[in-house]
Amino acid sequence: MAKIDESFVKVRNLKKYFQTGTAIPFLKSPPAVKAVENVSFDVFKGETLGVVGESGCGKSTVARLLIQLIKPDAGEIIIDGLAVEKRGGISTRDLRHRMQMVFQDSYATLNPRMPIEESIAFGPISNGKKPSEAMLKSKHVMDQVGLDPNIYLHRYPHELSGGQRQRVNIARALAMGPEVIILDEAVSALDKSVEAQVLNLLTDLKSDLKLTYIFISHDLNVVKYISDKVMVMYLGEVVEYGTVEEVYNTPKHPYTEALLASQPSMDPSRKLDTVPITGDPPNPINPPSGCKFHTRCPKVTDMCRTVNPNLQSTNVGNHLSACHLA
Amino acid sequence: MNKNSTISDPKVLTVKDLSVKFVTPDYSVHAVNNVSFDLKRGEVLSLLGESGSGKSVTLSAIQRLLPEHITSVAGSIKINEEEILTMPSKRLNRLRGGQIAMIFQEPATSFDPVFTVGQQITEGIRHHTGCSKGAANKRALELLDLVRIPSPKDRINNYPFEMSGGMRQRAMIALALSCDPMILLADEPTTALDATVQIQILLLLKDIQKELGLSIIFVTHDIGVSIEIGDRIAVMYGGQIVETGNLSDVINDAKHPYTKGLLSSTIHANSSGKRLHAIPGSPPNLSNAPRNCSFSERCEFANETCKNTMPDNVKLGVERYSRCLRIGVWE
């Protein structure tokens, strides 16, 4: 069983390649998208880990691997000391009692022909709860996410606004009584004024229910606001990991620096006038050799082109960076 | 107050009392209601608003791109004193692409996938100027160079799918600039791009705008982006412009409760740990013509008058307006 100081979710050397097209015997197999490679990290109980990176960096794949929507090619996921889908560990079914996920598209994730009440009760019922108990539970979780059960429980998804639907999705995750919730771009599709409401709700739920969040987003400001620790990903690899203060105030990886510098300033008198970093992210089917960032890095050396740096400790606490120059 | 604007500034575009209504047998939507603004030569106007606020519809209406059989448009849109809404379609076709061009959010879907980027750029040039294939090709290469696409000679023969997202958006800008337009309409051109690429495209647009003296209307839902690109800003809510003015005036001293709420609910670099000041409720349903302040349902300062009367634009300074009945009371 887990000791007190041990991490609650532990991920070691996770790897996932997606095959493009189908392999034909005797012919060269089609190229694979190297979505996630050698990703390791820890999430401690009660903290929020923010995962940032550009599209195609593998952050959503990590989320889907964690909750076993797709199976990893290699690597271990350990929750509360129990290895997922390993002998003596925890099954996927039990895992999903402890870990739930909220997706970006609040409409696509709800069954359009099911009233909200049934959608929320679906998980508990299919896990053996009595329907009457499950319905009671859905009332309770609707209250928790700030929607009046008497008004909304019998409505259909199309009758709700985007923000309300995302609250329903959070309620549905809560109905399973999870300890960890993965939020994959959960507020990205919402308007700013509604996004703030949902972020406030998430903050309240976290402290009321002692939840642990894995919060995935491309929006650096939102991640900074909600997270305790941050993990920065680039082309399927973790390039930097540390507390929010460390990563945002003293970034150790040139990619993190560039990402932070690319944020619009919000101050009309301090507009950017030079481009922090040129080029587009490379194609993950054919990533660059050595350090994957070397094609865009302003500080590139010869070693960077051939040797891929490991994620290693910088001199400060638990601040990790995958850069030869850090 | 606004040092960039003088009375003699030529207006390239004037929109007056524009209303756009979509009507089908099942529903009607009052998407844009009494929107007025103008655009001066060489300025960037940011049109900021949330989804459904009418910003994209306004933009499409300027080029008459909305489906005519379900749209009823009222008001006036003038480009160089020429009325767009009643213009014969032949004349309009010369104008589109020629004097006024548009770039869209998703370059992958606005290019035709079966033609190369070069073919699509030269098609427009030849249609508008009637020049030879060789001359059009030369112009296309110049344009690709202008938008800083590396090795344009190779890239001109690429199909859209062979380019990355950022590269495609650059090609899209080249396409829009191909016939030397005076006005560029940009509909969230950086929303689909990654952060590091977004800033490249924004700065590129700004450079080109200065170089060519373009006038740009830049539609976005992202406050940071609108600050980065704009000279002037117009904030839209519920199909109306609720506040407009010089960029720094509006951002530093918002005069409409919605702008204020939007700014305080947006996460800044230093809002960690604080509770966000969210605007309660959700955006209005536009199926009926508005008869009151569209923000009154969500506004913490609204009183009975706000819920029953339609506010007028209150002039606060040079080109500075706010559509609020309780201005000065709530601050």
What CATH number corresponds to the domain at position A87? 3.40.50.300
Could you tell me if B221 lies within 8 Å of chain A, comparing CB atoms?
yes
- A-chain residue closest to B246, CA distance: A268
Contact B241, B35 (CB under 8 A): yes
Chain B residues touching A272 at Cβ < 8 A = 199, 203, 228
pLDDT at B328 over 90: no
pLDDT digits (tens, 9 = 90+) for B268-283: 767 777 888 888 888 8
**Average pLDDT of every residue of chain B:** 90
- B-chain residue closest to A257, CA distance: B196
Report d(CA A7, CA A41) in Å as an integer: 9
Let me know how long chain B is.
331
Boundaries of domain holding A120: 9-321
Residue spans of chain A under pLDDT 50 = 1-3
pLDDT at B290 over 50: yes
pLDDT digits (tens, 9 = 90+) for A81-91: 999 988 888 99
In a domain, A152, yes or no: yes
- Interface contact B199-A161, CB threshold 8 A: no
Contact B19, B30 (CB under 8 A): yes
Stronger pLDDT, B281 or B20, i.e. the higher one: B20
When divided into structural domains, chain A yields a total of 1
Give the angle subtended at the CA of B37 by the CAs of B32 and B43, to the nearest 5°: 125
In sign, the C-alpha dihedral spanning B131, B137, B140, B141 is: negative
Task: Return the pLDDT at B320.
Answer: 92
Q: Which of B37-41, B134-138, B285-289 has the lowest mean pLDDT?
A: B285-289
Counting residues of chain B whose pLDDT is more than 90, the rounded percentage is 64
Chain B residues touching A244 at Cβ < 8 A = 272
In a domain, A87, yes or no: yes
In a domain, A67, yes or no: yes
pLDDT digits (tens, 9 = 90+) for A282-305: 888 888 999 999 999 999 999 999
Task: Return the pLDDT at A2.
Answer: 42
In a domain, A3, yes or no: no
Model confidence at B73, pLDDT cuts 50, 70, 90, reads very high
Task: Return the pLDDT at A284.
Answer: 85
Question: How many CB pairs below 8 Å do chains A and B form together?
Answer: 123
Give the angle subtended at the CA of A138 by the CAs of A133 and A143, to the nearest 5°: 130
pLDDT at B2 over 60: no
Mutate to test the interface with B, among A104, A193, A199, A283 (most CBs of B within 10 A): A193
Task: Return the pLDDT at A124.
Answer: 94
Tokens matching residue B290: 């508005």
Q: How far is B52 from chain A (nearest CA, A)?
A: 10
> What b/e sequence results for A100-133 when a residue is b if at least 16 CB atoms lie within 10 Å of its CB, and e otherwise?
bbbbbebeebbeeeebbbbbbbbbbbeeebeeee
Task: Return the pLDDT at B5.
Answer: 44
Q: Which residues contact A12 (CB under 8 A, 6 or more apart)?
A: A40, A75, A76, A77, A78
CATH superfamily of the domain spanning B1-99+183-293+310-331: P-loop containing nucleotide triphosphate hydrolases (3.40.50.300)
Task: Return the pLDDT at B9.
Answer: 64
Secondary-structure breakdown of chain A: helix, strand, coil percentages, each rounded to the nearest 5? 30, 20, 45
Report d(CA A16, CA B281) in Å as an integer: 41
Task: Return the pLDDT at B6.
Answer: 45
In a domain, A4, yes or no: no
- Interface contact B194-A218, CB threshold 8 A: yes
- Interface contact B275-A200, CB threshold 8 A: yes
In a domain, A279, yes or no: yes
In a domain, A2, yes or no: no
Could you tell me if B75 lies within 8 Å of chain A, comparing CB atoms?
no
- Interface contact A196-B197, CB threshold 8 A: no
Tokens 């009321």 sit at which residue? Answer: A208
HEC-encoded secondary structure of A180-241: EEEEECCCCCCCHHHHHHHHHHHHHHHHHHCCEEEEECCCHHHHHHHCCEEEEEECCEEEEE
pLDDT at B3 over 60: no
Is the complex ipTM higher than 0.85?
no
- Interface contact A265-B224, CB threshold 8 A: yes
Residues of chain B with CATH 3.40.50.300: 1-99+183-293+310-331
pLDDT digits (tens, 9 = 90+) for B192-218: 888 889 999 999 999 999 999 999 999
Q: How far is B237 from chain A (nearest CA, A)?
A: 12
Task: Return the pLDDT at B322.
Answer: 93
Chain B residues touching A55 at Cβ < 8 A = 194
- Interface contact A266-B224, CB threshold 8 A: yes
pLDDT at B7 over 80: no
Mutate to test the interface with B, among A161, A280, A285 (most CBs of B within 10 A): A280
